[in-house]
Amino acid sequence: MLEYTPDRHLTGGLRLAAHKIDSTARPIKRGLVPTRLILPLAQHRGAPAEPVVSVGERVLRGQRVAAAASLETADVHATTSGVVRAIEMRAVPALAGVAAAPCIVIDADGDHESIDFAADSWPEERAAQLARVRAGGIVGLGGAAYPTAAKIGAAPACRIIIINGAECEPYISCDDVLMREAPEQIVAGARLLGEIVGAEQCIIAIERDKPLAIDAIGQAAGDGGSAPRLRLAELPTIYPAGGERQLIEVLIGEEVPAGRYPSDIALLCQNVGTAFAVHRLAAHGEPLLSRIVTVAGRGVATAQNVEVPIGTPVAELIAFCGGYREGARRLLHGGSMMGYALPNDDMPVAKGTSCVVAATTEEIRVDYSEWPCIRCGECQSACPARLQPQELLIAGRSADHAALDVLGLYECIECGCCDVVCPSHIPLTEIFRRVKVVHRAHERQLQFSTDSAQRFLRREERHRAEAQHARELQEQLIRDVQFGEIGKGALQAAVERARRKRESGTEPD
């Protein structure tokens, strides 16, 4: 297999304690059968899927319970057998925090009975391949949870596909252990994704602190094979080297333009877990029913990686790992940098759940006091997106929306590097998240005002055009009456009326 080490370096970033030794010391633990499922219908970007089952109906593992509402959504499937208890709104983990979403709640019967998965031959037409991936409910398993069919469908002419195995976030090790235990399936899924988008080259990128994963993937890939030609890239161990834009810049030396996507420059990134899921769909006909989740932190009895049926409550996952230890203070969804706190452990494991951290006081921030910004520039030096967080902070707090656009608010990847290095302990990432919400609302209001003004101008223009047309018709009618055939006809009609009245002995009108 072709191997290379990029000679380009990540802009900014930090070297952080990994906290992954405990969770990678054991193989993936399997066999978790939940007693209840909470299946969010919005486990992906875009509109929620639409339920196709009703309350009281018994469902089987692998059965579709919600259908994709559009091209940018994905199907949802039952991950164990049981009876649908409710279809209701619930608080669930979302992309940027806990949010309310429609959910299908299933009481499991313990049988774990599955439908018959049909491993049909993989279609050759691109449209049929995308439809199969969408029906399989597959989304990006690196955290963004973007529907895979929509993402690869937006890249019809792809030069290079990157399979992301960097996994730079502290605590998270699910991709690492998956690459160790299932390298052949990941390589097969990577090849399949490359064939769908017509890529000439496929790069599997792994950080250097994962030597076992690098060896396993290297052996599975062999000499790289035919198109898409496989290459294995070893990345420097620095956070956030696994960010999509940062990965492209380090590996290929190209920068994704602001406000654009990698597909706009004929590139595509997919997570190793997504490649594994695509392989299982193509080889066994099995939709996305489970994912590997890292359970970590000093607050859990046994830190390890677990294959978890999607929809399993976090409480059952923690119990499967031996339960809480004394001193567990907070539950984090995701790693310590980009994760967020869960209000309780009744939250379900979603498709985008890569890690659950049961943290103790020593692992979290408990003092939220902050001091004024001293404009030291440390946040700017650490920012991998080359932004000026100190200027964004001023513009955000003063609601200077024009400055936020100029400073590139939406280019912030919310990696948290600026938080770590800030000597004033300002929670910059959380502030930027809130500012994005406010800025989007401002943009919607501005767009609404612009649309309203344009509608008013179009209506006024239409009224002016109609009035002008009416005047022209009136003028034309006058000309016709005076000089045209209409005038002659009107005169003859008047003469005829006068003649009839004379003959009848009455005075003409």
pLDDT in tens, 405-416: 999 999 999 999
pLDDT band at 227 (very low <50, low <70, confident <90, very high): low
pLDDT band at 508 (very low <50, low <70, confident <90, very high): very low
Q: Is the dihedral of CA 461, 462, 463, 468 positive or negative?
A: positive
The DSSP letter of residue 36 is E
pLDDT band at 173 (very low <50, low <70, confident <90, very high): very high
Section 464-468 average pLDDT: 90
Q: Which pTM value belongs to this model?
A: 0.86
Q: How many CA atoms lie within 13 A of 471 on its CB side?
A: 6
Distance separating alpha carbons of residues 36 and 418, to the nearest angstrom: 40
Distance separating alpha carbons of residues 386 and 504, to the nearest angstrom: 100
Q: Which range has the worst mean pLDDT, 52-56, 189-193, 505-509? A: 505-509
Q: Which residue has the higher pLDDT, 455 or 477?
A: 455
pLDDT of residue 204: 95
pLDDT of residue 4: 57
- Residues 317-326 pLDDT 10s: 999 999 999 9
- Residues 4-46 pLDDT 10s: 566 667 888 999 999 999 999 999 999 999 999 999 998 877 7
CATH superfamily of 2-7+22-111+120-293: NADH-ubiquinone oxidoreductase 51kDa subunit (3.40.50.11540)
Judge contact between 324 and 359, C-beta under 8 A.
no
pLDDT of residue 45: 75
pLDDT of residue 202: 93
Section 187-191 average pLDDT: 94
pLDDT of residue 471: 85
- Please identify which residue in the block is written with the tokens 């969408």: 134
pLDDT of residue 480: 67
SS3 387: coil
Angle between helices 485-503 and 428-483 (to 10 degrees): 50
Give residues with Cβ within 8 angstroms of 379, minimum separation 6.
389, 390, 417, 418, 421, 422, 428
Section 106-128 average pLDDT: 89
- Residues 424-447 pLDDT 10s: 999 999 999 999 999 999 999 999
Q: Which range has the worst mean pLDDT, 140-144, 166-170, 491-495? A: 491-495
- Residues 388-399 pLDDT 10s: 999 999 999 999
CB neighbour burial string for 428-466, b if at least 16 within 10 angstroms, e if fewer:
bbebbeebbeebeeeeeeeeeeeeeeeeeeeeeeeeeee
Map out the domains of the chain as residue ranges.
Answer: 2-7+22-111+120-293
Asked whether the predicted pLDDT for residue 1 surpasses 80, the reply is no
Asked whether the predicted pLDDT for residue 69 surpasses 90, the reply is no
pLDDT of residue 495: 74
pLDDT of residue 6: 64
Asked whether the predicted pLDDT for residue 504 surpasses 80, the reply is no
- Residues 417-428 pLDDT 10s: 999 999 999 999
